[in-house]
Every structure is written in C-alpha cells, then in structure tokens.
C-alpha cells in the first residue's frame, strides 16, 4: 500500500494587494506558477526482488524511485516493530527527472514479515513530497529448498528382451518464481527386478538447463524403475514415481533360405534387362515355400558396398522373379530381412559381365 503526502504553502493576500498595478499582478502570477512548478515530487518506488526471500545465503535488494524538483532526498526502511533506518541513495539522470537507487542486503538475522519504507523529496522553502509503502521479507531459517521429479517415464512398454530401452524425466526446484528446471544436477536411475526387494543403481544422468534427464540401455528383465535426486546443501532429495515395465522374450525364429538364385543372360549388353529368379523357403516341419518381400541388391565390380535396387514379393510358393536393367558389371543377390517368425537370409551372389558393342 502506497501513501503520499505533500506539504502545502498557504498564501495570504492582503486587501492592499487589490491595488497592485496590472504589471505587478502579472509578475506575481508568473512567480506563483514558477513556484508551483518547482514543487518536489517523488514517484515510482520499486523493490527488487519482491518479496525478498532469504533461504540461507544473503540476498541483495534494490530500492529505486524517481523525483522531480528535489534538491535532496531521503529513503528509510523499518522492520516490523523496529525503528526507521536511513539508506544511502545514489542519483542518476532519468529524462527530465532524477532516478535514485538504494541497496540493502538481507540475511537470516533479519526479521521476517511486512517491512515499511518511506521516500522523501525535499524542495525549496521547506516543501517536500513523500511516498510510503510496505514490502515482504520472508526468512526461511534452517529450511531446505524443495525439489521434485516430474514426467518420469520408462518406455517402450512392454519391450522385447535385448531391445533398446530408455527412461526420462525432469528435475524441478522451488525457486522465487515457483517451480523451475534444476540444471547441472545428477539424477540416479534405479531398478528393482520382479521378485526382488532391493533397488539397484543402473545408471545416472546430469540434468540440462531445463532440468531434463534421460538414460538408455538394453532391456533384460521385467521390473520397476524410478529416478532419485540425492539432494545437497540446502536442497532436499526427490524421488520420482515408479514405472513397471514388462520384458517379453520373442518366440524362437525358424531358419530361412533362398535357393536357385540366378541372373541371366550372362554376359548382358549395356542397358539391357537382366532377369532374376530364385525361391524363398522357411523351415517349418520341413522346407516350404514362403510368401514375403525380398530385396534385390547389386555390388559393382571394384566396390565393397551392396546397393539396394528394388523389393520383390514372392508368390504363394515362394518363387521369385523380377527384372532390372544392367549398366555395370558386378554381383547380384536376393536378401530376406527376416521377421518375428523367421531369421534373415541372403542368397549366394551371381556375377554378370556387362558388355558394350
């Protein structure tokens, strides 16, 4: 709450003043206007930070205000139940006004509660203007900052055994402006296997400037995951919620094979079509033709890298047949990438020479 007071100057005009000449009256009017314009004014008192929160280390606060028509200023503060204490103020230009700044450091020895302030601007002839108000000092003695872990998640779930797996979350700390990311802190990742009562530390990560952390690895056992921040001086520990993840063992995959692969004709003229044939078979109570998608690959002479050319679908009996134009001599082959039921496999390669006539 702000309060403003201004000293008033009363002018008494005698009866004889009515007999003043017009020029004298004009001079008196101009003089009065000039005196009014020179009245001191104090305004725009600000405290930074507000409230002033002391959690352990001293906190510096800055008090600023502006004045006009003032030759001298005073600024005082008062603790609850205490006496007024003047602060040193320093001026700086501020347009047509002057800006004044005072500083004061608050620590755990200060009283908490609603403090008072008063800013006074002194002008000529004893004129002055004042602005007063209150601000809060919150002293948290022997109190650690609260922390929390939010958004903790372990995924995917369920996950196949041996597959890539990860956890992530965010560490927050209670600051002056509410909960905010707590960067540069180590968060441990804990795991408790199904059937066990013991938590194991399996990894850790350092939070980024937003408080985010993550950790990844290979899924091996079903169990429960959680994240823990160990705290520190003046900062509490934090535990995430738990997340249970089931690890499933994929069914045993059977063998597969590509038989009878052939590229023809050989040799082939540059830019002409080659025909590729073969068959995809899988082991399922004996070798049987299998319907699936198979890739055709080519490796030019002198190269060590196989290039994907196209995909081909087998028929119901597993037969493969497709065409592609030949531009360079090299090796060709079919590749089956496998699936949940059958293992991947590659055919033998077939070399074809390209001739130019």
344: left (phi over 0), alpha (psi -120 to 50) or beta: beta
DSSP per-residue letters across 259-303? EEEEEESSSEETTPEEEEEEEEEEESSSEEE---EEEEEEEETT-
CATH architecture of 3-138: Sandwich (2.60)
Q: How far apart are the first and last CA of the chain?
A: 99
CA 102 to each of CA 83, 253, 257, 345: distance values in angstroms, whole numbers, following the listed order: 18, 78, 85, 79
What would the pLDDT profile of 63-93 be if each residue is shown by its tens digit?
999 999 888 999 999 999 999 999 999 998 8
What is the C-alpha separation between 320 and 307, in angstroms, rounded? 19
Neighbours of 203 (CB within 10 A): 15
Three-state secondary structure readout of 144-176: CECEEEEEEEEECCCEECCCEEEEEEEEEEEEC
What is the C-alpha separation between 53 and 59, in angstroms, rounded? 7
Neighbours of 124 (CB within 10 A): 12
pTM above 0.85, yes or no: no
Q: How many helices (H) and strands (E) does the chain have?
A: 1, 32
Buried b (16+ CB within 10 A) or exposed e, 258-285: beebebeeeebeeeeebebebbbbbeee
The pLDDT assigned to 45 comes to 95
> Does residue 29 register a pLDDT over 80?
no
Cis ω for the linkage preceding 18 (within 30 of 0): no
Q: What is the mean pLDDT of residues 14-24?
A: 38
Asked, colleague to colleague, whether 147-248 and 256-355 share their fold, the answer is yes
Greatest Cα pair distance in the chain: 134
What is the C-alpha separation between 264 and 274, in angstroms, rounded? 5
What is the C-alpha separation between 186 and 216, in angstroms, rounded? 15
Homologous superfamily (CATH) of 256-355 is SOR catalytic domain (2.60.40.730)
> Does residue 17 register a pLDDT over 70?
no
Neighbours of 100 (CB within 10 A): 23
| Domain limits, the chain | 3-138, 147-248, 256-355
Enclosing H/E stretch for 214: strand 212-218
Q: Lowest-confidence range among 115-119, 142-146, 245-249, 259-263?
A: 142-146
Contact 276, 263 (CB under 8 A): yes
Mean pLDDT of the chain: 87
Enclosing H/E stretch for 75: strand 72-78
Residue 13: band (very low, low, confident or very high) from pLDDT cuts 50, 70, 90: very low
The pLDDT assigned to 101 comes to 96
Beta strand pairing status for 147-155 and 3-6? unpaired
What is the C-alpha separation between 187 and 235, in angstroms, rounded? 14
> Does residue 279 register a pLDDT over 70?
yes
Beta strand pairing status for 247-248 and 159-160? parallel
Comparing CA positions, the residue from 349, 354, 313 lying closest to residue 331 is 349
Q: Lowest-confidence range among 48-57, 201-210, 254-263, 297-306?
A: 48-57
Buried b (16+ CB within 10 A) or exposed e, 290-306: bebebbbbbbeeeeeeb
CATH 2.60.40.730 at 147-248, yes or no: yes
């Amino acid at each position: 709450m702000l309060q403003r007071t201004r000293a008033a100057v009363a002018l008494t005009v005698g009866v004889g003043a009515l007999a003043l000449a017009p020029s004298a009256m004009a001079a008196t009017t101009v003089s009065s206007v000039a005196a009014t314009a020179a009245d001191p004014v104090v305004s725009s008192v600000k405290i930074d930070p507000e409230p002033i929160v002391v959690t352990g280390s001293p906190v510096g606060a800055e008090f600023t205000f502006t004045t006009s028509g003032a030759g001298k200023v005073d600024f005082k503060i008062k603790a609850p139940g205490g006496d007024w204490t003047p602060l040193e103020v320093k001026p700086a230009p501020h347009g047509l006004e002057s800006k004044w700044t005072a500083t004061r450091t608050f620590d755990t020895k200060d009283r908490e509660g609603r403090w008072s302030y008063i800013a006074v601007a002194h002008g000529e002839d004893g004129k002055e203007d004042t602005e007063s108000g209150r601000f809060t000092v919150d002293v948290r003695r022997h109190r650690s900052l609260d922390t929390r872990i939010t958004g903790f998640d372990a995924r995917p779930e369920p996950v196949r055994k041996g597959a890539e797996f990860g956890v992530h979350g965010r560490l927050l700390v209670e600051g002056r402006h509410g909960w905010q990311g707590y960067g540069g802190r180590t968060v441990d990742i804990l795991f408790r296997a199904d059937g066990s009562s013991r938590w194991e530390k399996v990894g850790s990560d350092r939070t980024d400037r937003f408080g985010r952390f993550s950790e990844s690895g290979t899924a091996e056992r079903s169990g429960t995951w959680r994240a823990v921040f160990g705290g520190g001086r003046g900062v509490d520990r934090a535990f995430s919620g738990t997340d249970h993840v089931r690890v499933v063992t994929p069914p045993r995959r059977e063998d597969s094979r590509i038989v009878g692969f052939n590229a023809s004709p050989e040799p082939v003229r540059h830019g002409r079509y080659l025909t590729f044939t073969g068959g995809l078979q899988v082991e399922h109570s004996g070798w049987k033709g299998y319907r699936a998608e198979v890739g055709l690959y080519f490796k030019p002479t002198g190269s060590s890298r196989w290039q994907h050319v196209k995909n081909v679908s087998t028929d119901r009996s597993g037969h493969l047949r497709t065409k592609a134009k030949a531009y360079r001599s090299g090796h060709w082959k079919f590749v089956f990438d496998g699936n949940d039921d059958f293992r991947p496999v590659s055919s033998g390669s077939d070399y074809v020479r390209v001739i130019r006539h």
